[in-house]
């Protein structure tokens, strides 16, 4: 058939200031607990008084998934990851055969200060959890599917960078 030709530009150009405004707007939406709840995130409201959750610098140094799970459990965030794991379902249609077998839910977004911190490898195994550096943060990570209010964990050095 007729595959996409390389002469076509498949990416839409978005203005720089418009992109920045979208990212800032999505970041501001993470601070609204009502929006986070409406998006479907589960978290213990008795333990979390305000969103986004800010953790100390030691969190970036965690090397084991068990250690991270223990910290997230104590913060009251583990139930959101468990929900994302339970909600994974097989995709309908031909996408299954094209490398998109499962529909996966989004869970936490963890924002760290540097790109090579040990916690990145430690959280890889959690379903729906994304890790980003403060510098590479964008609107798509903060508001997947254009729905603002993602449950976010930010480390203190990353918060200073933002």
- Helix residue ranges, H only, the chain: 16-29, 33-38, 65-75, 78-86, 119-122, 139-142, 156-161
Q: Express each pLDDT in 118-139 by its tens digit.
A: 999 999 999 999 999 999 999 9
CB 60 within 8 A of CB 112: yes
CB 129 within 8 A of CB 110: yes
| pLDDT range class, residue 49, cuts 50, 70, 90 | confident
pLDDT at 160 over 80: yes
pLDDT at 27 over 90: yes
Contacts of 27 (CB under 8 A, 6+ apart): 137, 142, 162
Q: Please report the pLDDT score of residue 61 as a whole number.
A: 93
**Two tokens, residue 4:** 């996409």
d(CA 13, CA 129): 28
Q: Express each pLDDT in 56-74 by its tens digit.
A: 999 999 999 999 999 999 9
Q: Express each pLDDT in 95-115 by its tens digit.
A: 999 999 999 999 999 999 999
d(CA 53, CA 62): 17
Q: Please report the pLDDT score of residue 44 as a whole number.
A: 85
- pLDDT higher at 110 or 2: 110
pLDDT at 9 over 90: no
Residue 128 falls in which region: left (phi positive, over 0), alpha (psi -120 to 50) or beta = left
Q: How many CB atoms lie within 10 A of CB 118?
A: 14
Question: Longest C-alpha distance within the chain, in Å?
Answer: 57
d(CA 69, CA 73): 6
- What mean pLDDT value characterizes the chain? 91
């Amino acid at each position: 058939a007729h595959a996409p030709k390389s002469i076509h530009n498949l990416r839409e150009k978005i203005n720089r200031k418009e992109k920045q405004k979208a990212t800032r707007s999505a970041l501001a939406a993470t601070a609204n607990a009502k929006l986070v709840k409406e998006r479907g995130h589960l978290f213990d409201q008795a333990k979390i008084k305000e969103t986004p959750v800010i953790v100390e610098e030691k969190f970036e140094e965690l090397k084991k998934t068990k250690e991270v799970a223990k910290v997230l459990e104590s913060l009251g965030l583990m139930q959101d990851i468990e929900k994302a794991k339970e909600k994974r379902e097989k995709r309908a249609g031909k996408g299954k055969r094209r490398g998109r077998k499962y529909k996966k839910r989004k869970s936490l977004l963890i924002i760290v200060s540097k790109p090579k911190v040990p916690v990145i490898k430690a959280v890889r195994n959690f379903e729906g959890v994304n890790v980003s550096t403060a510098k590479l943060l964008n609107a798509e990570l903060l508001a997947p599917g254009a729905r603002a209010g993602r449950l976010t964990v930010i480390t203190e050095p990353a918060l200073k960078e933002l």
